[in-house]
Amino acid sequence: MSTPNEDVFSCILSHIHRSKTVHAVLRALPQSHPLFCVALHRLWELPIYLDNHTYEWRAILASDEILDHLLALDAGEEALAIVESIRHLVIAVEPVRIREEDNFIDEDDVVAFRDRLSDLFEKTRNLKSIDYHSYPGIPLSRDNIDALATCERLRTFSVDTAIRPPWIMSTEDPEPWNIEPFLTNLAPSITSLELRHVCLTTLTTLASHRDLLVTYENLEHLKMDITEGYWDWSGAGSPQTGASDVFIFPFLRLPALRHLELVVSDLTIHKPRAGPLDLLDCTLLTDLTLDIRSGVYVDVTTIQLFMATEFPMLSHLEIKDSNAFANFRVQWEPPMSDQKSDGRHFHGLVDRFLGSTRNLTSLWVDESALLPATAENDRWDGLQTFCSVRELWDTASTHFHTVDKVLWKTALQAAISQIESLRVGFGVVDDVEVGLVLGCCDPAKLRQFGFDWAWKKYGRNEPISPELLGHLTQFPKLTDVHILFPCPETQVSGDPDPVIDARMVRDVAAIFKSNSSICRVGMGNSVVWERFGGQGPEFLLVSDGSSAPDSLVPKFYHAGTWRTRKTHW
């Protein structure tokens, strides 16, 4: 058998994104083989985890050994090739003993580990992405930032902006990271930025540098978590309690920002104000993701954010809502304590917001966000209830009275007809309701369809509904189908190797068979099969959900449940 040349082999390996697979290739090759170095370089291109925070002491030792090895490399050609292969670093400097002790003390060995990173950064000239975890822990130092500034290709940066929690949570801001060296030395070249644990102190620092932020011509993507900090005990306002007459979110003047991901508390956006969206110019946004978390002391079921803003350029909207419970979906007969909730009512989302977003082609929303509520707080526990898709389409139904059904349905149909990627917020749907929803879609446009399937309306051992499969056949451009939650008690399990339920495989096969244009099928968060061999019946599990959400599968599949095991980090 002839040996492929190094360039061809390198090209093949560039399509492999899992270190386990590359390790298998390395084990199959003797170190003297000319392709061994090619595979080794590919391994170094994949994300490298340096972990000084875990309970697993072997991971800490392995991280120290990797760091020792990289720093000990001489200036030889082979050594240079290794360090220049490094593209992505994920670093955690959150030692367990710091988190468990009442008094947070910077241990000398941990500080030394952090300080050694500067030498590593200066070697990794081709570094493109870094993700630094330090809450609570040891933050990046000024020397670290200066060293990273020498990495001319660094474009993606993720960091914790807090380093110490307060003694009593939600009573004051955590101790912040000194972000100023980053803002002046490194941030101007960054294109994608994630700021975690942002509190009022950090927001104030950002606002004080608005004259600098306006020069950030490269920053197109921002993810910001503003759930950290105190709740408004003094009456002076805070980000967590939302915009008010006494608290206004500062405008940050980021001129190139097009993609925004906000992680917020429900209390932050429950008022009829733009709130955290005042941080930027919404008329420039093309992508908006809202990840809404439940507040500590209140259960906000009505979100009014969508009344106050306009997004003329928006093409993608995603709403993740942690308010609804998923446990009832994973068992045929869940315990009474696993209460079902349909999520929150997003006031103005359908009738005011979607109707004004003419460029929207991608809509991913959770639970029942696109359905009208039956009434305000009509449950004893204060949770919302919503009408079903059937009731919304049935003009004779009087089950709810909060909106004009005809106007609501008209607005929905107009919005959905232009959508190419739809992950619906209609709650649990059966085959009839899927047909009603897909009836609003344009067969010439729809490429991706995700939904919460009503498994419990069908028998435990019944195959997936032929009527559902019939609806999928009507869309010649459909490439992706995602059922957010698999059939109860068929979740992918097993560590490290997945155990796939035979029922799930049969259902996936039926979906592939129904429409030859379908390329991928998902059953849960990041559990994805992919067709191979053209339009034939063969398909392969490409992601088992063990790293959910898995960056190696389309973000369309980053929803629903995942494997029955903990995910790393």
- Please report the pLDDT score of residue 365 as a whole number: 93
- Please report the pLDDT score of residue 142 as a whole number: 96
Residues paired with residue 499 on neighbouring β-strands, in sequence order: 493
Q: Residue 290: which H helix or E strand, with range? A: strand 287-293
Mean pLDDT of the chain: 85
Three-state secondary structure of 49-92: EEECCCCCHHHHHHHHHHHHHHHHCCCCHHHHHHHCCCCEEEEE
- Which residues have a Cβ under 8 Å from the Cβ of 410 and sit 6 or more positions away? none
**Hey, where are the domains in the chain?**
479-569
> Can you read off the two tokens belonging to residue 493?
């399990």
Mean pLDDT is highest, among 10-14, 131-135, 229-233, 376-380, for 131-135
| pLDDT band (50, 70, 90) for residue 318 | very high
- Per-residue pLDDT for 358 more than 70? yes
Residues paired with residue 88 on neighbouring β-strands, in sequence order: 129
**Cα separation of 87 and 14, whole Å?**
13
> Can you read off the two tokens belonging to residue 142?
């000024």
Residue of 153, 229, 159, 228 lying closest to 191 (CA atoms): 153
Residue of 107, 114, 22 lying closest to 64 (CA atoms): 114
**Global pTM?**
0.90
- Please report the pLDDT score of residue 88 as a whole number: 96
- Please report the pLDDT score of residue 569 as a whole number: 33
Per-residue pLDDT averaged across 163-185, rounded? 86
- Per-residue pLDDT for 105 more than 60? no
- Which residues have a Cβ under 8 Å from the Cβ of 119 and sit 6 or more positions away? 71, 147
- Please report the pLDDT score of residue 2 as a whole number: 61
**Cα separation of 529 and 512, whole Å?**
10
- Residue 56's alpha-carbon distances to 3, 68, 114, 282, in angstroms, are 41, 19, 19, 44
Residue of 405, 343, 347 lying closest to 379 (CA atoms): 343
**Cα separation of 89 and 196, whole Å?**
17
Q: Crossing angle of helices 108-123/57-72, nearest 10°?
A: 40
- Please report the pLDDT score of residue 520 as a whole number: 97
> Can you read off the two tokens belonging to residue 257?
């920002």
Report helix, strand and coil shares of the chain as percent, to nearest 5.
30, 20, 50
DSSP 564: S
Amino acid at 185: N
- Per-residue pLDDT for 554 more than 80? yes
CA Rg value for the chain: 25
**Cα separation of 257 and 18, whole Å?**
31
**Cα separation of 362 and 318, whole Å?**
8
Burial letters 51-62, b for 16+ CB under 10 A, else e: bbbbeeeebbee
Higher local confidence (pLDDT), 336 or 547? 547
- Please report the pLDDT score of residue 345 as a whole number: 84
Three-state secondary structure of 483-544: ECCCCCCCCCECCCCCECCHHHHHHHHHHHHHCCCCCEEEECCCEEEEECCCCCCCEEEEEE
| pLDDT band (50, 70, 90) for residue 380 | very low
For 65, phi and psi rounded to 5 degrees? -65, -40
Per-residue pLDDT averaged across 497-516, rounded? 90
Contact 238, 265 (CB under 8 A): no
Higher local confidence (pLDDT), 399 or 507? 507
For 307, phi and psi rounded to 5 degrees? -85, -25
Per-residue pLDDT averaged across 209-217, rounded? 96
- Please report the pLDDT score of residue 496 as a whole number: 62
DSSP 350: I
If one counts every other C-beta atom within 10 angstroms of the C-beta of residue 392, the result is: 23
Per-residue pLDDT averaged across 405-432, rounded? 92
Q: Crossing angle of helices 36-45/6-13, nearest 10°?
A: 30
